[in-house]
Structure 1
Amino acid sequence: MLKVLFVCVHNSARSQMAEAFFNLYAKDVDDTAQSAGIKPGKLNPYVVRAMAEKEVDISDNTPKAVFDLYKEGKRFTHVIAVCDEASQQCPIFPGINKIIAWSFSDPSSFKGSDEEIMQKVRSVRDEIEAKVKDFIQNS
């Protein structure tokens, strides 16, 4: 049974996508994922749109705080940080000694026209989807 926590700074984009893809593709009904951040922000509207293109609705998701999950006594078999290590520090979930690091660009940093931003978000979305599928297949 896999209990995965995807973490990032704001829980507004990458970790939300990873959680949604994991829960979509999980092999076992007992396999579940959650996501959280150190400083929960606002759900990224470009990410909501990009996920809708894959027929995955995350529009009602609410960014959550890592420490709230910790205080609730949540336990995980895997904690995966999905931050862009080059530009920011990923949060650490208390009580976990080893964190798997997957580095993805931060959609909140993308600039350009609406379509240029969407193209970059789609690219990150597809990278996350492939990484999650691979993780599930090899776990």
Structure 2
Amino acid sequence: MSTTDTAKNPSVLFVCVHNAGRSQMAAAYLATLSNGAIEVRSAGSEPAESVNPAAVAAMAEEGIDMSTEIPKVLTTDAVRESDVVITMGCGDTCPIFPGKRYEDWELDDPAGQGVDAVRPIRDDIKSRIQALIAELLPTS
């Protein structure tokens, strides 16, 4: 097997409690803005029934459709398979594996908020995602 066969894109896992707002927006931005060059996962320690409608509406304003996303439960495998794990208010519910990069992004929780309150959270996430892409995919 050649080295190109084993080379893989960097992977990022976004985790928040309900996997319904912040982590979904972050995953949608990363998938869109990296043009598929970064593998993206999101999950929650206590997934909600559905994605926050205000988060869906706020992302639609950016031309990103999250309407078909569903909250997913956090698994040990998802953490193990990711290079970078970014938590958003889930505390210590994430399993820790040596050699992984962990970050905790302190962001307001959009749960129960209207789209006007979600926009600043969305914009904060977008700027963090742009910085993350620049770190993970440096251009020459």
TM range (shorter): 0.7 to 0.9
Give the RMSD, CA atoms, in angstroms: 2.1
Aligned counterparts of 1:103 and 1:72: Cα–Cα separation in 2 = 21
Q: 1:109: how far off?
A: 4.8
Gaps of 5+ in 2: 1-8
Letter in 2 for 1:35: S
Gaps of 5+ in 1: 111-116
* 73 and 90 in structure 1: CA distance in 2 versus 1, 3 angstrom threshold: closer
Aligned pair 1:8/2:48, yes or no?
Answer: no
Aligned pair 1:136/2:139, yes or no?
Answer: no
Larger Rg: 2
Q: 1:52: how far off?
A: 0.5
Q: 1:98: how far off?
A: 4.8
Conservation of the 8 A alpha-carbon contact between 1:8 and 1:91:
no
Q: How does 1:54-93 map to 2 (within 5 A)?
A: 54-67=62-75, 70-71=76-77, 75-83=81-89, 89=91, 91-93=93-95
Aligned pair 1:35/2:53, yes or no?
Answer: no
Aligned counterparts of 1:89 and 1:63: Cα–Cα separation in 2 = 18
Aligned counterparts of 2:10 and 2:119: Cα–Cα separation in 1 = 27
1:68-120 CA-partner distances (Å, limit 9, x unpaired): xx35796011000122xxxx63631453665211110001153xxxxxx2221
Conservation of the 8 A alpha-carbon contact between 2:79 and 2:95:
no
Task: Provide the identity percentage.
Answer: 32
Aligned counterparts of 1:46 and 1:30: Cα–Cα separation in 2 = 28
Conservation of the 8 A alpha-carbon contact between 1:37 and 1:91:
no
* 129 and 90 in structure 1: CA distance in 2 versus 1, 3 angstrom threshold: farther
Runs of 4+ residues over 4 Å off in structure 1: 71-74
* 49 and 135 in structure 1: CA distance in 2 versus 1, 3 angstrom threshold: same
SS of aligned partner of 2:12: strand
